[in-house]
Amino acid sequence: MPKCDLGVVLIDAGSTLTSEDLQTLLTLQQAAVPANVLLSKADLLGLQDRGKIIEYVRQHIRSECNLELHVHPISALPSHKNLLTRWFDEQIIPLYGHAQELRASSIQRKIGGLQESVISALEMQLERSKKPASETADQVRAAETRLRHATGLSEEARSAWEKEIERLPSELSEAFYAMSAELIQVWSAKPSSASSPEKIVNDSVLQFAQQRVQKLQDSLRALALQLRDGLRMSAADLSIADMPGDDELQSLVRGTPVFDIGSLGAVVSRPTIALLFGTQFAEKRLARRLYKQSGDRVYNALKIYSGALKEWIRLVTSQLSQRFETYAERYRAHAARSFGGTRMTTDEVNALQANLRVLWASESADFVESAPKYAVEHEVHAFGRDIVSQADKGESH
């Protein structure tokens, strides 16, 4: 969902929006994905009726979802092909053009970023040449040790989290005791105007799942911070300017699966007789009754949700590891060169300084805008792929 450019919800122009349609639109909104609504079978409607249906659908979406969305009629019939063509021209073509602009902008940023990285690498190399060899060696060893330790963090954490997720359905009794205790408390406070038992039951199950998911999210963000700090400290030891941004790794913790069991349809009443034996007895009795009604359904839903959570954990930890390794590989290559290299001669220092002067002079020039149009459209893409690939492999020299 986070990679989706546009969500298109197709509905029948001859029927009303269903709850599933509205939920799909809300899901797209929560994922920050723009949406269009297409009314199919528009050929069955006259122009006046078509306008009324479009306005009705817009108002329905506005009242139920608080959204202002584009609604467009279409038809599969050749006689109404112009409807689909118009929607494509108005919505898809501009979106595609915007995507092309974003790609070109991304290449420009990567080229500029590579130039900055090369400058930083040369500057740091000059600075390192001024330090005592023993001090440099100790810092390099510290960086290598830190990177080696951080490499295994994601795998260890993922294994522990998966075991925790697998225990989720077996801990379900906690949710039913919580909902039972809340129901007893509500009934005891206001027996005549208590909240809906069904709402309390549903909310208790959702809260049970959300609390555990929140714990996983917090743990993942803590791991992201730990990996980021490890990279930053290693970069400092190696005198490397290229390091992850403040939220670069934390931003990968996203797209958490949503647990929605729907309505459980719980039918419960105040346990008047059980309350005569005390609140604790009544809570246990009510919890057993609730579990008998809805326990199997909730258990099965949690089993399915646990599978989705495990896949999400694997995806996020894999992305964290990949992003970490993008930096770590360059740092390791730099560390290996530091151990294997010799101190620079005066001629080498002079050559580096000359190269830096050239880079500093060209840094302010806008490469893409000053290039011929043919180069921008045909050469920059291939050139950008090559130099970015080299940068990812640590070949900034």
Nearest to 107 by CA among 386, 396, 394: 386
Query: Are 235 and 241 within 8 A, CB to CB?
Result: yes
- pLDDT for 246 beyond 80: yes
3-state secondary structure of 11: strand
b/e per residue, 49-74, with b = 16+ CB within 10 A?
ebeebbeebbebbeeebebebebbbb
Position 274 confidence tier, pLDDT thresholds 50, 70, 90: low
- pLDDT for 323 beyond 80: yes
Mean pLDDT of the chain, nearest integer = 76
351 domain-assigned: no
The pTM (predicted TM-score) of the whole model is: 0.53
Judged by average pLDDT, the poorest of 152-161, 181-190, 354-363 is 181-190
* DSSP per-residue string spanning 326-348: HHHHHHHHHHHHHHH--PPPHHH
* Residue 206 shares a structural domain with residue 107: no
Q: According to the model, what pLDDT value does residue 133 have?
A: 52
* Residue 265 shares a structural domain with residue 315: yes
* Residue 187 shares a structural domain with residue 201: yes
* Residue 105 shares a structural domain with residue 235: no
357 domain-assigned: no
* Residue 27 shares a structural domain with residue 69: yes
352 domain-assigned: no
* Residue 251 shares a structural domain with residue 376: no
Encoding tokens for residue 284? 């246990």
* Residue 187 shares a structural domain with residue 63: no
Q: How many domains does the chain have?
A: 3
* Residue 303 shares a structural domain with residue 384: no
Q: According to the model, what pLDDT value does residue 265 have?
A: 61
- Residues whose CB is less than 8 angstroms from the CB of residue 371 and which lie 6 or more positions away in sequence, other chains included: 379, 380
- Averaged pLDDT for residues 76-95: 88
- pLDDT for 84 beyond 70: yes
Distance, in Å, from the CA atom of 364 to the CA atom of 369, rounded to the nearest integer, reads 12
Encoding tokens for residue 356? 């830096």
Higher per-residue pLDDT: 188 or 318: 318
Higher per-residue pLDDT: 366 or 4: 4
Distance, in Å, from the CA atom of 220 to the CA atom of 208, rounded to the nearest integer, reads 19
Query: Are 166 and 358 within 8 A, CB to CB?
Result: no
Give percent above pLDDT 90 in the chain.
5
Task: Please say which residue of 59, 76, 93 terminates a domain.
Answer: 76
Residue bearing tokens 């659908």: 57
Judged by average pLDDT, the poorest of 90-94, 101-105, 280-284, 376-380 is 376-380
Position 385 confidence tier, pLDDT thresholds 50, 70, 90: very low
Q: By residue range, what is the domain housing residue 66?
A: 7-76
